[in-house]
Amino acid sequence: MTTKRPNGKVYLIGAGPGATDLITVRGARLLARADAVLYDALVTPEMLELCPQAEKIAVGKRSGQRSTAQDVINALLVESAGKHQLVVRLKGGDPMLFGRADEELTALEAAGIDVDIVPGITTAFAAAAATKQPLTKRGVARSVAFFTSSTAPEQADLSALPHTDTMIQYMGGREAIATAERMLAQGRNVDTPVVVIENCSRDNQHITRMTLAGLAHGLSQAHGPVLVMIGEALRMREHQALDGQQVLAPRVPA
């Protein structure tokens, strides 16, 4: 009679915004011990060098590109836990913010598999650090909203957030233009500061500053993940250095 091998444990780990040294110490230690790592498209090759011993399974999702269905990812996690003692699901940013964590937790729990969460630095916080721009500011901004409308930008109801001081749009890109148009239509100041950051924390990081009116007239084509930050807290301080950031004036329609 054969005894069924007990399932291993799964860790949902936040890889952070991209730079290898921004993963938590706990996350790096678990990667170094992992038997299998299921990783997102935004996880860098340098990050995967932290787990040379592990079986690596790409399960990325990128807008406009071929992606792994969530049901397939869930099944792979359950299958991997049946074969390995320590399985890592490595996600860009933080697993609990726009990371489909609820679906994966539900699948693992239904299969009776032990699971734990290791938080990561979400891109908004890394972007605030990269731009030296706090998201809150005494007397100016005391509330922050994180949102994404990458799957259905026309359905994003920004009127539900009329008193939010700082707004952070994940997976911004083209969708951020529609966001700016709606915000202007709802009465937001045309000169509201906007900071757009592409490939946050990576060697090819690019930061652009503009106004809400400028954002409504378009963005340059991006070649990596884009985060858009909007609000008065993002207005540059008098003696703030640009550190290579690009400043764009509002575009005037022809």
Is 56 part of the annotated catalytic residue set?
Answer: no
pTM, 2 dp: 0.88
Burial call 197-206: b when 16+ CB within 10 Å, e when fewer: bbbbbbeebb
d(CA 202, CA 206) in angstroms, rounded, equals 9
Q: Which two tokens stand for residue 49?
A: 């060098």
Task: Kindly list the domain boundaries of the chain, sorted by start residue.
Answer: 9-118, 123-247
Answer whether 200's CB lies under 8 Å from 225's CB: yes
What distance in Å separates the CA atoms of residue 254 and residue 252, rounded to the nearest whole number? 6
Place of tokens 């071929």: 66
Q: Which of these is catalytic: 35, 40, 83, 102?
A: 40
Whole-number Cα distances in Å, 84 to 69, 80, 142, 149, 180: 22, 6, 45, 36, 47
pLDDT of residue 254: 43
Give the tens place of pLDDT for each residue, 48-68: 999 999 999 999 865 555 678
203 is catalytic: no
CATH superfamily of domain region 123-247: Tetrapyrrole methylase, C-terminal domain (3.30.950.10)
Mind listing the pLDDT tens digit of every residue in the chain (254 residues)? 445 668 999 999 999 999 999 999 999 999 999 999 999 999 999 999 999 999 999 998 655 556 789 999 999 999 999 999 999 999 999 999 999 999 999 999 999 999 999 999 999 999 999 999 999 999 999 999 999 865 444 555 666 555 789 999 998 888 899 999 989 998 899 999 999 999 999 999 999 999 999 999 888 887 889 999 999 999 999 888 877 788 876 554 44
Q: Which of 9, 35, 56, 61 is catalytic?
A: 61
The CATH architecture to which 9-118 belongs is: 3-Layer(aba) Sandwich (3.40)
What is the bridge-based pairing of β-strands 55-58 and 36-39? parallel
Q: Which helix (H) or strand (E) holds 145?
A: strand 144-147
List C-alpha distances in Å: 87 to 12, 25, 90, 94: 9, 17, 9, 17
- Whole-angstrom Cα Rg for the chain: 20
Residue 192: both structure tokens together: 């509201």
pLDDT at 209: 95
Residue 3 is predicted with a pLDDT of 52
Question: Phi/psi at 63 (nearest 5 deg)?
Answer: -60, 130
- The conformation of residue 119, written as its DSSP 8-state character, comes to -
Q: How far is CA 91 from CA 45, 100, 234, in A?
A: 13, 10, 27
